[in-house]
Amino acid sequence: MQQAIAYRTENPEDRRQELAYRIEREIASTIQPPFGDMSRGLAQGLLSTVYDVAAEEPHPTRREAMEWFDKNYLQREIRHAKGNITQVVRNAFSVDDENEVNNLRRNVYRKIERYGLGEEVDLARPWKPKPLEQCVDENIYIPADRVEQTLSKSLAGYKDVINPVLYDGLSERIRDKSPALAEKISAYAPTPANRLKEIVQSTEGIRNYNQASQAFERQVIYDTLSATGWDKKKTAEYLGDSLRTLNRRIAELGIEEQARTGEQKQDNIARIDEFVQKKLEPDKPAIAVNEIERFQQLVREYNAKREVEREKKETKKKKQVQWKGIE
């Protein structure tokens, strides 16, 4: 596992606002503050905690992500085929030859044993109708104690403005409901694991294993490239690959053009930033000289203008004196 990395989406601010709305809604229904502004205030504090916890989750390497996909894809296909492994093989690998089906079926059974999916096969079969667990393991990403600490700290800001009895009741509900609230919010947290769930769900309609696997891997690499600012060296480090391997996978998965465009865009942004920086902080001695010269020029122009005005006034006074002498 590598250091955590935040996924950049097309509209990160929209995603943040959506998450804030969901947290506020969960707080309103679970904690039941007396007015909406308090729900909003508690939600803003908890939103920061959610992002902090998400940033602490390690980023999976490419191989770890692909193994995670392998298990979840197999779970999904077992359910679609109602536990019929032969049908899983036919759907996943588009084969009809019996010998090839048998060989691939042995490989699938080895994976079922490796991932501990034997019970999953039994549960998927129609003659053993039992409630199925969700496709992806539900891990609690946001610790209940951090939810309680954050909400209690935010609630303390309202201590002097609400009834003490009401305050104590809210404090008690926060203690009691924090575990349930943490579980609900964890499903929305912008963690790498939740992002992997989103990606694997996007392959739901792809039965063929190779096509689904490539679509998943393509998105994982693309997301990581985008999150690192299209820095291939950093991307390779996060994904646990060498730069050579990363470039090979980019070429094989057909995202060379996107990677090249992203690099160019990032390079343009860097150049613009450099240009703006130079404009904002130009060479100090040169600007000082220029400013002094400009100031001196303004003084000379001002003095010249005053001299012209003074001469006009003097001329006018002389004419007035002459007219008075004539009279």
pLDDT band at 88 (very low <50, low <70, confident <90, very high): very high
pLDDT tens per residue, range 187-196: 888 888 888 9
The pLDDT, as a whole number, for residue 150 is 93
CA distance 167 to 110: 57
Co-location of 228 and 269 in the same domain = yes
Region 29-47: what's the mean pLDDT?
87
Indicate the range of 210-224, 269-283, 294-308 predicted with least confidence: 269-283
- Sequence-ordered list of residues with C-beta below 8 angstroms from that of 93, at least 6 positions apart, any chain: 100, 104, 208, 209, 210
CA distances from 238 to 53, 67, 214, 215, 226 (A): 18, 16, 19, 19, 12
Host domain of residue 294:
283-327
pLDDT band at 216 (very low <50, low <70, confident <90, very high): very high
C-beta neighbour count of 314 within 10 angstroms: 10
DSSP string, 245-269: HHHHHHHHTT-HHHHHHHHHHHHHH
* Domain boundary pick from 91, 124, 157: 124
C-beta neighbour count of 311 within 10 angstroms: 10
With respect to residue 25, please indicate whether it lies within any of the assigned structural domains: no
pLDDT tens per residue, range 110-143: 999 999 999 888 888 876 554 434 433 445 578 8
Co-location of 293 and 233 in the same domain = no
With respect to residue 27, please indicate whether it lies within any of the assigned structural domains: no
**Residue pointed to by tokens 């042995």:** 106
**pLDDT exceeds cutoff 50 at 37:** yes
With respect to residue 169, please indicate whether it lies within any of the assigned structural domains: no
With respect to residue 14, please indicate whether it lies within any of the assigned structural domains: no
CA distance 250 to 247: 5
Which of 3, 7, 2 lies closest to 220, judged by CA? 7
Tokens of 171: 């404090």
Co-location of 266 and 287 in the same domain = no
CA distance 186 to 194: 9
Indicate the range of 64-68, 95-99, 105-109, 187-191 predicted with least confidence: 187-191
pTM: 0.70
pLDDT band at 1 (very low <50, low <70, confident <90, very high): very low
Name the DSSP letter for residue 82. Answer: T
With respect to residue 294, please indicate whether it lies within any of the assigned structural domains: yes
